[in-house]
Structure 1
Amino acid sequence: MRPPLWTSDEIVAATGGTLHGAPFAVDGVTFDSREVEGGELFVAMPGTAHDGHDHVARALADGAIAALVSRPAADGSDWGPHVLVDDVPAALTALAVAARARMAGPVVGVTGSVGKTSTKEALAAALDRQEPGFTHRSVKSYNNHTGVPLSLARMPRDSRFAVLEMGMNHAGEIASLTRLVRPHVALITTIASAHIEHLGSMEAIADAKAEIFEGLEPGGTAVIPEDTPYRDRLLKAAKRQADAIVTFGGGEADVTATHAVTAEGGGSLVTARLRESELTFTIAQRGDHWVTNSLGVLAVVEALGADLAIAGLALADLGGLKGRGERHRIAAEGGEYLLIDESYNANPASMAATLKALGEERGVSRRIAVLGPMRELGEQADALHAGLAPAIEAAKVELALLVGDDMAPLAGALAGRVEVRRADSVEAATGLLKATVRPGDAVLVKASNSIGLAKLVTAMAGG
């Protein structure tokens, strides 16, 4: 039996809080009462729209063992076991620090403009294949100033590997997160125009991502993409912090694909040259971007001294990720069609990559792209949306179903070149797709998460 995640004594020692009620032990931590399944510490985070203290009673009724709070119940009722602290967010961060301090195994930090969550999942799968059940990872996209502390606080004391994702909207955010995570290996997936609205230039985006190296442990390794105009900028930043630097991608990269072809049934069969070996493996996910992601994964695995062959097996078995390439075969009158769920996030680079993969789908009668806006592009938004037109044409898309007013520049760029239909809402887009789709079609669904195209996927595929 594995030890508890936290005892009340450990929580008190880490946070400086006071215990009220009987001593306890918990096996999970959450600040979302909807996630309570039983056995958790519920962290009553304050917020502008909702205060977690208003949900303590519900969380405890649903099975949480205890709560982390900064005030008594407003109605004077007894919350049951809880630890009272001065500041709940600071206490969660203190738990994160304590969790990282007791972690004896290697920790990997992942960031990047595109592909960080998918790469994090692939890397966690590769490491968990070697130590089944003992690899900890960030869940969902918990990668910000609250998500990273939560992910660390959830890290079991006997973890043998940990893979933690870090994201940002502004300069300085990753610097603070990486000092919590203290990675032994820090990976940047790529640099793209996501968040350019807040950062102003691609150079500033590269610098913000390179902050991840500031938290590297002594002897740490920086893993950076070869195929970016900002490679030398990243190298310069890495040299200030890392003892070793590994590049991955094309050309003269330390880890590169010497051969890559489409595998039977999809995905890619890849032969990779690494620093000290060569590996032939299959990556289950489709698209050239996944070949590049896999090279980043293998670069980290090699840097950790873990088993590359086992990592290759994990990449072959990696299933589709919800909102990030999950594939649904959906019955339709007379057959079925393919729906590719990329609804979680979008920026110009990821749009181009997934559209290219759509164009490479075999055995389809028609390609449909259901696309919504990309966020945080600032003054460049119209131009960047219109700039997707060549990728849509190259992917042999026959119908572009565009959702929202922000897609007007793209509709204009496609006029007379590709059939375009417009929808002013997710619900309208769902209706149009249901009326249009037919057996043999391949449908790509992609937009920034805030657009809510996941609802369209659920309506079409169920679940």
Structure 2
Amino acid sequence: MTPLWTAAEIAAATDGDATADFAATGVTFDSREVGRGDLFIALTGEDTDGHRFLGGAFGNGAAGAITSEGVTYPAVRVRNTMAALEDLGRAARARVDATIIGVTGSVGKTGTKEALAAALDRATPRRVHWSVKSYNNHTGVPLSLARMPRDSAFGVFEMGMNHAGELAALTRIVRPHIAIVTAIAPAHTAFFSGEDAIADAKGEIFQGLQPGGTAIIPFDSPHRDRLLAAARPYAGRIVTFGSGAGADVRAVETMRTANGGTFVTAQVGGRELSYTIAHPGLHWVSNSLAVLAAIDAVEGDLGRAGLALADMAGLPGRGQRFHARVPGGEALVIDESYNANPSSMRATLAVLAQEERRRIAVLGGMRELGDDSAAYHAGLIHPIDEAGISHAILVGAEMLPLAQALEGRVDFVHVPDAATAQACLRDVLAPGDAVLIKGSNGIGLSAVVAALKTPAVAGTGD
């Protein structure tokens, strides 16, 4: 196997000193994720010090490490390991002859990144690299870059932020040829004065565009003109996507399929394309249009992109569906437990509304919404009404305003934590039901999902 990094290359990229000769086939800064042949980066911070886990990393098969201390293991010693991670990401970006695509947005960025990677892989198998999970912050982005094989044809990187200036820094490391903004919505509003400020922060992604690069912007967004203004100084070409007349990539017709997905007829430039999206919901129609815009920008195969969209399964925590065993049968679970903001709550409740069965919602608090948090939570009463929810389990202190708004309207309970929600759901969930589980990651609703995947915990009597 061709090594991803040699000790000499790491030392050159990070201005470090190699204490031994080694070759690494992977990169990680989590000692629990180390596999045989990996490079372990001993990051240091206020709460932890990666140097404490060197023994575990090498016990798991690490080939070498990046450290800021003298160690007895094969290593490249640097002044600052976080700076070294960024330098390694920059070196990986510099050495590839690949088309680089950056994806950001308040909602939809992980799904769009995954769908785009799958579409590109259809045409160039095993030569597409993309960030795993939601590695989209100041550590995840350089790590994802550092993992990029030198023979990659495409790199697709998710970029997130919760403060102004963060995306500007990330995009200058990624240096994309194509930059996508999926959507603007209230998220991390505790750190912004309003949606205009969020749009400005998302628009920072265009600052890293390579000369002649393409900016892809949501046409239907009320912040479209703001994003266009942010892109113009940096983009050689701007492409819009959406359903409105005038969008460059436009959905002209949508129809729900028998299995809950969506059949879409879209115009891409002067061409027309029909395809099926496995994922339900109009938010996925928007994501798919962003994918088509990017595929068209790289002169890729739109037909194969359509096939990839039809084949995509849901991601854990982000729309994955499965049937859980309950006493007497099974219930459908829609796992949206990874994250939540007002926009994504509305979208996924609308997806639940399409299920022609008894509908249950386990909804956790939405975090980082600042002074408007109470209003945003209480405002969920309308999409809950529209979804025809039979029973709601509201989780966390943030959900109190919604609980007060729902009094006398919907059968619900308000509980303090995920463990209590799990017990409540076990008591109410019945065969044939559909249950949506969604909340900010910190609420811990992934534990409720995990319990439903475990028959004994899900209440089957095993």
Same fold (TM over 0.5): yes
> Number of residues paired by the alignment?
454
1:20 aligns with 2:19: yes
From 360, 373, 377, the counterpart of 2:354: 360
The structural deviation recorded for 1:201 is: 1.2
- What is the DSSP-based 3-state SS (H/G/I as helix, E as strand, rest coil) of the residue aligned with 1:167? coil
Q: Where in structure 2 are the equivalents of 1:313-352 lying within 5 Å? A: 313-352=307-346
1:309 aligns with 2:307: no
Q: Which stretch shifts more, 379-388 or 247-256?
A: 247-256
Letter in 2 for 1:196: T
From 145, 148, 152, the counterpart of 1:159: 152
Match for residue 178 of structure 2?
Answer: 185
Q: Take 2:247 and 2:65, find their aligned partners in 1: how far apart are those partners?
A: 49
Do the aligned partners of 2:242 and 2:289 also contact (CA within 8 Å) in 1?
A: yes
Match for residue 382 of structure 2?
Answer: 390
Q: Take 1:219 and 1:320, find their aligned partners in 2: how far apart are those partners?
A: 34
Do the aligned partners of 2:34 and 2:57 also contact (CA within 8 Å) in 1?
A: yes
Letter in 1 for 2:208: G
Q: Where in structure 2 are the equivalents of 1:92-103 lying within 5 Å? A: 92-103=85-96
Match for residue 66 of structure 2?
Answer: 68
Match for residue 434 of structure 1?
Answer: 426
Match for residue 366 of structure 2?
Answer: 374
Letter in 1 for 2:302: L
Q: Take 1:249 and 1:260, find their aligned partners in 2: how far apart are those partners?
A: 12
Match for residue 458 of structure 2?
Answer: none
Post-superposition Cα deviations, 1:376-401, rounded to whole Å, max 9, x if no partner, equal 10000000000000001100101110
Match for residue 124 of structure 2?
Answer: 131
Aligned-CA RMSD value: 1.0
The structural deviation recorded for 1:131 is: 1.1
The structural deviation recorded for 1:276 is: 3.6
Q: Where in structure 2 are the equivalents of 1:265-280 lying within 5 Å? A: 265-280=259-274
Instruction: Indicate the percent of aligned positions where both proteins have the same amino acid.
Output: 57
- What is the DSSP-based 3-state SS (H/G/I as helix, E as strand, rest coil) of the residue aligned with 1:259? strand
1:246 aligns with 2:234: no
From 257, 260, 273, the counterpart of 1:263: 257
Match for residue 175 of structure 1?
Answer: 168
- What is the DSSP-based 3-state SS (H/G/I as helix, E as strand, rest coil) of the residue aligned with 1:129? helix
1:197 aligns with 2:190: yes
Q: Which stretch shifts more, 127-136 or 212-221?
A: 127-136
Q: Take 2:232 and 2:374, find their aligned partners in 1: how far apart are those partners?
A: 37
List, as ranges, runs of 4+ consecutive aligned residues in structure 1 with deviation greater than 6 Å. Answer: none
Q: Take 1:34 and 1:226, find their aligned partners in 2: how far apart are those partners?
A: 43
Q: Take 2:454 and 2:134, find their aligned partners in 1: how far apart are those partners?
A: 22
Q: Which runs of 5+ in 2 are unaligned?
A: 456-462
From 23, 26, 29, the counterpart of 2:27: 29
- What is the DSSP-based 3-state SS (H/G/I as helix, E as strand, rest coil) of the residue aligned with 1:422? strand
Q: Take 1:462 and 1:41, find their aligned partners in 2: how far apart are those partners?
A: 35
Post-superposition Cα deviations, 1:20-43, rounded to whole Å, max 9, x if no partner, equal 12x111110000011112110000
Q: Which runs of 5+ in 1 are unaligned?
A: none
From 213, 217, 222, the counterpart of 2:210: 217
Match for residue 285 of structure 1?
Answer: 279
- What is the DSSP-based 3-state SS (H/G/I as helix, E as strand, rest coil) of the residue aligned with 2:123? coil
Post-superposition Cα deviations, 1:45-92, rounded to whole Å, max 9, x if no partner, equal 00111110100111011111111000024xxxx2x2111111111111
Post-superposition Cα deviations, 1:317-367, rounded to whole Å, max 9, x if no partner, equal 0011010001110122222100110000000000000000000123x2x10
Provide the TM-score with structure 2 as the length reference.
0.97
Letter in 2 for 1:268: T
Do the aligned partners of 2:109 and 2:158 also contact (CA within 8 Å) in 1?
A: yes
The structural deviation recorded for 1:183 is: 0.4
